[in-house]
């Protein structure tokens, strides 16, 4: 009986260790080489020889898989024994892209010609996309929440790049078209470099793997160098972000990419201890109690002219009670004038450079910033 019990323990231990081994054990079901992803928690890429497999972990239930994609070169025969997953023929040639973030990335990777359609065109601040929509080279598929399915069908799109949401209820008619739905869950990563590393997945979808790997390598080098410099600073200013919206103030949680980049910039984010990786609605009173003595206040807004401190006071008089307001240490990013949302998801090093200059002015000779400006009186 004892040998049998010992054998059971050996089997149990083997299975348990395999499960605890993390990415390596779970990411090579085809026996291929796993791409070394150092930061992305919700993405695994495996080279299986005749195809590549991309596994997206469900960010809302990390014990589950959100989607598996089997990237097969266009024109090749399908391999005889494919695992379960959505087959995507690569490189993509007529993709419908639902966000300006991914449009900007594809332009940088030299894959603009592969964008066959877009949604929410009014939010895409890219002259080449706008011009191609006017000339008909790119189809305007309408509102991203209710796209024009007929236009997508007539385009004969080979993939739809869209963002998944928790408890969204699925994709309706889009999910029944037989067109691969590429779920762009990069925004649910918990670190700036983790999100940026998804560049490597998108590069492989569009036949730009080498370009994507090169871009990410440069992003990583620059980001780590800046974070290392900030780590040597003695003082860590207390940081508050954003503004009240309606009756709630949406506060980035400590494990969000926003919370992480504040820490990497050498800031003491006032809500660093807040659980989660998204944003949490709070009352003004709760935020004020926690952040009234914050040293630096960062805000983002979209307006035809830059906001001033007086504008903030007129918007909501209690803002004037914050220490950062009294000390005039408020920095604003007017997203109507700069490509903040288009660039920073995949180029966090550019945002980090601004933050380091704001938090530690003595570490940089230059005071010029890419996105933020100190609010005038």
Q: What is the pLDDT of residue 1?
A: 42
pLDDT at 13 over 50: no
Closest CA to 52 of 93, 24, 83, 20: 83
> Distance between CA atoms of 219 and 105, rounded to whole angstroms?
13
Closest CA to 105 of 129, 70, 121: 129
Q: Residue 149: which H helix or E strand, with range?
A: helix 149-155
Instruction: Write down the mean pLDDT value for the chain.
Output: 91
pLDDT (tens digit per residue) in 134-168:
999 999 999 999 999 999 999 999 999 999 988 77
> Distance between CA atoms of 199 and 213, rounded to whole angstroms?
8
Closest CA to 321 of 299, 291, 298, 296: 291
pLDDT (tens digit per residue) in 209-257:
999 999 999 999 999 999 999 999 989 999 999 999 999 999 999 989 9
Q: Residue 142: is it exposed, middle or buried by C-beta count within 10 angstroms (0-12/13-18/19+)? A: middle
b or e along 17-47 (b: 16 or more beta carbons within 10 Å of the residue's beta carbon)? eeeeeebeebbbebebebbebebbbbbbbbb
pLDDT at 4 over 60: no
The reported pTM is: 0.89
> Distance between CA atoms of 258 and 278, rounded to whole angstroms?
9
- Cα distances (angstroms) measured from residue 136 to each of 129, 131, 133, 195: 10, 9, 5, 32
pLDDT (tens digit per residue) in 306-357:
999 999 999 999 999 999 999 999 999 999 999 999 999 999 999 999 999 9
The 3-state DSSP class for residue 64 equals: coil
Sign of CA dihedral 20, 22, 28, 29: positive
Domains and CATH numbers, the chain: 24-219 (3.40.50.1980), 234-374 (3.40.50.1980)
> Distance between CA atoms of 94 and 106, rounded to whole angstroms?
12
pLDDT (tens digit per residue) in 266-314:
999 999 999 888 899 999 999 999 999 999 999 999 999 999 999 999 9
> Distance between CA atoms of 351 and 346, rounded to whole angstroms?
10
């Amino acid at each position: 009986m004892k040998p049998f019990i010992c054998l059971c323990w050996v089997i149990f231990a083997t299975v348990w260790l395999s499960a605890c081994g993390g990415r390596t054990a779970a990411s090579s079901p085809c026996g291929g080489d796993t791409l070394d992803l150092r930061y992305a928690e919700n993405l695994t890429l495996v080279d299986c020889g005749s195809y590549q497999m991309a596994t997206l972990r469900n960010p809302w239930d990390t014990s589950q898989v959100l989607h598996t994609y089997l990237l097969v070169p266009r024109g090749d025969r399908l391999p005889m024994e494919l695992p379960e997953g959505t087959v995507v023929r690569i490189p993509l040639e007529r993709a419908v892209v639902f966000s300006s973030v991914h449009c900007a990335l594809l332009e940088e990777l030299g894959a603009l010609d592969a964008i066959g359609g877009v949604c929410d065109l009014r939010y895409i601040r890219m002259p080449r996309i706008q011009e191609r929509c006017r000339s008909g080279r790119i189809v305007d598929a309408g509102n991203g929440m209710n796209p024009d399915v007929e236009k997508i069908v007539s385009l004969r799109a080979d993939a739809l790049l869209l963002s998944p949401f928790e408890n969204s209820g699925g994709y309706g008619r889009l999910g029944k078209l037989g067109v691969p739905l590429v779920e762009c869950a990069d925004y649910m990563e918990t670190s700036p470099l983790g999100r940026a590393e998804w560049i490597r997945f998108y590069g492989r979808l569009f036949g730009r793997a080498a370009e994507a790997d090169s871009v990410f390598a440069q992003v990583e080098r620059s980001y780590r160098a800046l974070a290392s410099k900030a780590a040597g600073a003695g003082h860590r200013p207390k940081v508050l972000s954003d503004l009240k919206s309606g009756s709630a103030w949406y506060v980035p949680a400590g494990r969000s990419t926003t919370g992480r980049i504040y820490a990497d910039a050498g800031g003491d984010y006032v809500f660093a201890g807040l659980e989660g990786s998204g944003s949490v609605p709070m009352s003004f009173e709760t935020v004020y109690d926690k952040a009234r003595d914050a040293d630096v206040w960062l805000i983002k807004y979209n307006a035809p002219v830059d906001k001033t401190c007086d504008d903030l006071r007129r918007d909501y008089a209690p803002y004037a009670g914050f220490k950062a307001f009294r000390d005039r240490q408020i920095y604003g990013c007017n997203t109507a004038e700069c490509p903040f949302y288009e660039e920073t998801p995949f180029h966090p090093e550019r945002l980090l450079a601004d933050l380091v200059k704001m938090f530690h002015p003595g570490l940089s000779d230059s005071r010029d910033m890419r996105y933020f400006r100190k609010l005038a009186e």
